[in-house]
Amino acid sequence: MATHGIIDMRAQYNSTAFAGGIGSTFGQRINYLDYYVSIFNFLTSSFGQSLGAQRIAYNTGSRNPASSPNFSTGSGADYWETTNKLGDNAWSVWKFSSASVPFYMLMQVSIASNWQSSPGSDGAPATISANTTIPGIGIGFAMRADGGNPWNGATGNAGADSKNYQVWTSGSSQLFVWPRSNSFGGTHATQMQNLIPMIWAGGGFNSTGGPSVGSRMHVVADFENFAVAYDDGGDNTYNILHFGRYTPRSGSGATVPYIMVMTGNGRQVNDPCITIGSTAYGSTSGNGLDEGGVAHPTILTSGTRSAVFSGLNEFWSTTHSPSNVLGNTVYDEFPILCGIDESPWFAYIGQLDYNFIRWVYGVNSMDVNPQLTRVAVGNAAQYSAKVTIPWDGLTIPGTNSSRSGVMF
Amino acid sequence: MAGIPHGLVDMKTIGSAGGSEKGWEEVYTGIIRFLTSSQGASIGATRVAYSTGSSSTANLKAVGTANNYWDTGNSSGNNAWSVFKFVSSSLPWYMLVQWVGADSIAVPGSPGNISGQSGQQGIGFAFAVRLDSGNPWGGTSNNSGADTKGTQVWNSGSSQLFVWPRNNSFGGTYVAQKQQMMGPFGTHAASTFYHVIADNDNFAFVFDDSGNSSHTMVYFGKYSARSGTTPNVPYVALYNDVETYDPFIQLAAYGTVGGKDGGVASNDSNSGTLRVTFSGVNEFWTTSFQPNNNFGAAPVYDEFPVHLGSDEGTSAGYLGTLDYGFIRYIYNCASNDISSDFSRAIFGNASTASCKVSLPWTGLSSPPGSNINRSGTYF
């Protein structure tokens, strides 16, 4: 299974960078656009193609309300200062066709404090963490039990597509949508318009409206998994957003074994990085700091429900990590176990894909293994439980200074 | 799990009128009956030495002449002990089991201690392995009932020695003579229930003092090593000294004299056995999550692996899991429940909402405690 990514994307602009142009209010928000474009470019690259990523719809976005001459209506999906620039509320929908059950991802960027303006909201007001005004990049996922296409909008795929009133549709199958608030009993179940923040200005971060200079983002994926690690402010404290397949426990018979977890911007100091036990990921309101959800393993009509995680935390201590038993000194990487955690369904269901995402303890955030094939993400404190995700095998984390990052 | 599990279960002591030491003698006898039976032979249990014990106990007047119950002609005497080799394991291991009556540990049972006690009645277990598969027993091996212990109970010979409990090993209180054993001790009421369950690689002695459905346990077995490691001696032991532990195997260090005892073998020849710690995914040990109600028409109780690691400063870290075929964590089942196919039974704290362990069971519909008598049931 191929693993690829775009890593070490670095925010370029501070709040005064555009003081003479579109103004300081939007200066840092340009970084949202840059991140969006870089991820877009990755997904359309040969790397993205080898993952099975196929764009099926997109909109290049509207003119920015700052009315700057440098920021007119979007006409493409390139960086803001180029001819074929991206506009506000641009969005795109991607099919991950190589997954065992193909999944679809909607990604949208807003910098103008209005997620409800066209084209992000054609017929269906988009929200990010149930909010309509906070700028950022929002992301949502959907899949059908039959592997069919759940996207309910236009698919001209030429930059002018529109959303539908219901963002996702079940068609003749069963629909699973993330975040959980878009599913049955959720605040956004009718239109399924809610997105969760890949990055944003909520949750106590980005008080000036956008990522500060030096903020970093890494996106890695394989056929079945997609993860975003984000360090607001470049202080090596990361949150993680992960969507992917879990390995069902023996006897489960899960038909759509996919799960999402997002440790919101306000959770960059989490220890462990993904909270275990008491925290349910995926609220019905869709505005929590811990969002995500899991497809109900067997009752297809139940859609997506809250998820919970667990691990072998007795070994998360300075005594046991690094492990120095049996002639080895290694940092053990442990599986992340998962469950469904919403009444009346409470159950252990399996573990996240160990090849993709694992627990680790006692390493620094952005430490890599000797082969540079995995990187640790989480709290900047060394002695905290983090997760590891794939890395490119070449890059020393933090050494790239460009917004376009490093693709692999 | 290696081989077919067997056991002698649902045994109950009747020795109450004359004092509790009769009960300890019965427990010892029950264990020996299993290990010397055809079922014991089928898991590779081979006796290599034994002593029928002394005549000095207050209530058991006769000199021990064999290994039968105290009220029969050929009973075992105070401080009787036996050593068994488990030959069918990939790396043969040895077990010493000894009972002690009211007169404390003395010849022929000395040197010895049970959980740090030399003046208490009880039943003790110790285990040993040599890296070269050789015999670590330090005493005589005439195997006719009159064997003696050596000054050092276990011996490395020309190989490396691993001994349990941990305090018989390097840096331990009993390293010189390696005489420490672990197991329940003290006065106990009659009608104590107990079970012996084993396979080629694992041995469990489950003890329910006074039959109140709360258990203690002595366990020795082989663990499955985590990826990337190849332990020379992948064996671990534990003794639960308290009946009300929840989880039954504590998420804590084992290897302390007189407390949670046990240990795990190190690869370092200078370290021998080390303290061991256990772990499980306890976020799923709640009444909300167990039984698991999402998979099919009938709820199921998840059984989880028991993870372990060594727990001493110079050698600490995750090691792997106890043999999942033999022993597993389970939550919110009643103590003494059995699985729907009768192949596993649940032992631990009597409180239903607690984390216990499941072990192989008879395959018969009778749960632990329901068909109980002194002679028990073989499987």
**Residue A219 near residue A298 (C-beta atoms within 8 A):** no
Give per-residue pLDDT as tens, A68-79: 444 556 778 899
pLDDT of chain A, 408 residues: tens digit per residue: 799 999 999 999 886 655 444 555 567 888 999 999 999 999 999 999 999 999 999 999 876 544 444 455 677 889 988 888 888 889 999 999 999 999 999 999 988 778 877 766 655 578 999 999 898 999 999 999 999 999 999 999 999 999 999 999 999 999 999 999 999 999 999 999 999 999 988 766 665 578 888 999 999 999 999 999 999 889 999 999 999 999 999 877 788 999 999 997 767 888 899 999 888 999 999 999 899 999 998 877 789 999 999 999 999 999 999 998 877 788 999 999 999 999 888 899 999 999 999 999 999 999 999 999 999 999 999 999 999 999 999 999 999 999 999 999
**Interface contact B231-A319, CB threshold 8 A:** no
Tell me what pLDDT residue B297 has: 56
A84 contacts chain B (CB < 8 A): no
**Residue B80 near residue B64 (C-beta atoms within 8 A):** yes
pLDDT of chain B, 379 residues: tens digit per residue: 688 999 999 999 986 544 578 889 999 999 999 999 999 999 999 999 999 998 655 556 556 677 888 888 788 888 999 999 999 999 999 999 999 987 688 889 999 999 888 888 899 999 999 999 999 999 999 999 999 999 999 999 999 999 999 999 999 999 999 999 999 988 776 788 999 999 999 999 999 988 899 999 999 999 999 988 889 999 999 999 898 999 999 999 999 887 899 999 998 777 799 999 999 999 999 999 999 976 665 788 999 999 999 998 778 899 999 999 999 999 999 999 999 999 999 999 999 999 999 999 999 999 999 989 999 999 9
**Residue A219 near residue A228 (C-beta atoms within 8 A):** yes
What pTM value is reported for the model? 0.92
- Our CA-based measurement puts residue A133 at a distance from the nearest CA of chain B, in whole angstroms, of 37
Q: Tell which of B232, B278, B292, B293 to mutate to test the A interface (max A CBs under 10 Å).
A: B292
Give per-residue pLDDT as tens, A341-400: 998 888 999 999 999 999 999 999 999 999 999 999 999 999 999 999 999 999 999 999
Rounded Cα distance between B378 and B363, Å, is: 11
| Sequence-distant (≥ 6) Cβ neighbours of residue A278 within 8 angstroms | none
Tell me what pLDDT residue A50 has: 97
Residue B295 has its nearest CB partner, among A252, A319, A337, at: A252
Rounded Cα distance between A226 and A249, Å, is: 21
**Interface contact A252-B294, CB threshold 8 A:** yes
Q: Kind of pairing, strands B180-181 and B113-114?
A: parallel
Within 8 A of A276 by CB-CB distance, chain B residues are 283
Residue B267 has its nearest CB partner, among A327, A332, A340, at: A327
Closest C-alpha to A224, from A155, A330, A161, A143: A143
Locate the chain A residue with the closest alpha carbon to B228. A328
Instruction: State the first-to-last Cα distance of chain A, in angstroms, to the nearest integer.
Output: 14
**Interface contact B279-A312, CB threshold 8 A:** yes
Give per-residue pLDDT as tens, A142-158: 999 999 999 999 999 99
Identity at B132, one-letter amino acid code? D
Tell me what pLDDT residue A401 has: 92
**Residue A63 near residue A87 (C-beta atoms within 8 A):** yes
Within 8 A of B329 by CB-CB distance, chain A residues are none
| Sequence-distant (≥ 6) Cβ neighbours of residue B367 within 8 angstroms | B336, B337, B338, B345
Within 8 A of A343 by CB-CB distance, chain B residues are 288
Task: Give residue A105's Cα distance to chain centre.
Answer: 10
B267 contacts chain A (CB < 8 A): yes
Tokens of A287: 């505005």
Rounded Cα distance between A220 and A388, Å, is: 11
- How many C-beta neighbours within 10 Å does residue A207 have? 9
B341 contacts chain A (CB < 8 A): no
**Interface contact A314-B277, CB threshold 8 A:** yes
What is the ipTM score, two decimals? 0.89
**Interface contact B318-A320, CB threshold 8 A:** yes
Within 8 A of B249 by CB-CB distance, chain A residues are none
Burial class (CB in 10 A: 0-12, 13-18, 19+), B334: middle
Within 8 A of A325 by CB-CB distance, chain B residues are 229, 266-267, 309-310, 315-319
A354 contacts chain B (CB < 8 A): no
The per-residue b/e assignment along B293-309, b for 16 or more CB within 10 angstroms, e otherwise, is: bbbeeeebbbbbbbbbb
B275 contacts chain A (CB < 8 A): no
A349 contacts chain B (CB < 8 A): yes
**Interface contact A337-B284, CB threshold 8 A:** yes
DSSP state at residue B342:
S
DSSP states of B107-132: TTS-S-EETTBSSS-EEEEEEEEETT
Burial class (CB in 10 A: 0-12, 13-18, 19+), B204: buried
- The answer for B276, left when phi > 0, alpha when psi is -120 to 50, beta otherwise, is beta
Q: Tell which of B318, B322, B329, B331 to mutate to test the A interface (max A CBs under 10 Å).
A: B318
Tell me what pLDDT residue A83 has: 83
Three-point CA angle B200, B202, B206, nearest 5°? 130
Rounded Cα distance between B308 and B274, Å, is: 12
